[in-house]
Amino acid sequence: MGRYLEATAHTFPVAGSFTISRGSRTEIHVVTCAITQDGIKGQGECVPYARYGETIEGVLADIDAAAKAIASGLDRQHLQQAMKPGAARNAVDCALWDLDAKLTGQPASSLILPGPPKPILTAYTISLADAETMAAKTRENAHRPLLKIKTGTQDDEARLRAVRAAAPDAKIIVDANEGWDEDNIERHMAIAAELEISLIEQPLPAGKDDILAKIQRPVAICADESVHLTKDLASLKDRYDAINIKLDKTGGLTEAIVMKQEAERLGYTIMVGCMLGTSLAMAPAVLLAQDAAFADLDGPLLLAREREPGLVYEGSLVHPPRPELWG
């Protein structure tokens, strides 16, 4: 079995800017892994994330280090041991899924789902800004059934109230990106409960979230930065009600499927999320999210330019990927 592997870096512009508690971006940097066999190419995308110590250069080096084994026929299951979890393995894993689908003529969905995939509802993200600016952006998107708002400052009350007033009928996820602390967590949760917020994502820094096991949680709390691998799940059950599964954290769709099954067994609510990437990164996650309680796969909607062809979005509905994109 002869394979040819190529990994390349690409930059895509953000529409305006994208701001969370850790900073702002006007462009994104992604790595595309392409694996070719018998003239057929499979592709996967990852987004190296500085929060986890990842860089474009490091991801490219990790993929290059595994290239010989992959070219020799390394499959997805053995890939889990050959590469560490994270962005690099995600790009390779998803490229192998895509390659297998194209070589066999069997869609990736047929190996994951009991039936054909359907369009799913995705959250739409409102970037962190002052309360007035966030309210204005929310009003522009108040027709969307599910919004995700970025917070994570010492005092987010005005933001929470302004956004809820601007979208009184929408379900809202609040993502603090580790930006709250023990001094304000209970007050912010009480405000969120009053405003009927559906979910609070990663309010406290990973590793500094013990207080969540000791206080009342009037709104469901979702782990993001605190959870990467299936083995993390059991130890978080006293602090979190939901988990956000991202392929760039798990190291690909293969591990994400295992994590989702174990999380469901443990009674977690499931969110399937993403880094800020293109449709190629979202495509496998759309299949994973088919029966998830929450999907946050709006990355392409936040870009000024992305891949062609991309996923089809109709409002907040995202359609399953077409074979020419992935899977």
DSSP letter, residue 303: B
How large is the average pLDDT for residues 152-177? 97
pLDDT tens digits, 8-41: 999 999 998 898 988 889 999 999 999 999 999 9
Rounded distance, CA 145 to CA 56, Å? 35
Summary mean pLDDT of the chain: 96
pLDDT for 17 equals 87
pLDDT tens digits, 283-301: 999 999 999 999 999 999 9
Rounded distance, CA 60 to CA 171, Å? 39
**CA-CA distances (angstroms) from residue 114 to 38, 101, 117, 298?**
30, 16, 9, 25
pLDDT for 2 equals 80
Asked if residue 233 has pLDDT above 90, the reply is: yes
Which domains, and CATH codes, for the chain?
Answer: 4-111 (3.30.390.10), 120-318 (3.20.20.120)
Angle (CA) 301-230-71 rounded to 5° is 75
Residues composing the chain? 327
Percent of the chain's residues with pLDDT above 90: 93
pLDDT tens digits, 54-112: 999 999 999 999 989 988 889 999 999 999 999 999 999 999 999 999 999 999 999 99
Percent of the chain's residues with pLDDT above 70: 100
Active site residue 84: no
pLDDT for 1 equals 58
Rounded distance, CA 270 to CA 76, Å? 24
Q: Which of 102, 150, 249, 260 is catalytic?
A: 150
Rounded distance, CA 275 to CA 149, Å? 15
How large is the average pLDDT for residues 192-209? 97
pLDDT for 72 equals 87
pLDDT for 27 equals 95
Asked if residue 44 has pLDDT above 70, the reply is: yes
Long-range pairs, 129-138, Cβ under 8 A, ≥24:
129/19, 130/159, 131/158, 131/159, 131/161, 131/162, 131/163, 132/162, 134/159, 134/162, 134/163, 135/162, 135/163, 135/165, 135/166, 136/166, 138/162, 138/163, 138/166, 138/167
Q: Which residue has the tokens 């990994």?
A: 7
Structure tokens at 212: 């969540």
Rounded distance, CA 66 to CA 283, Å? 24
Q: Which of 102, 137, 148, 246 is catalytic?
A: 246
**Residue 72 exposed, middle or buried by CB count within 10 Å (0-12, 13-18, 19+):** exposed
Active site residue 208: no
How large is the average pLDDT for residues 241-258? 98
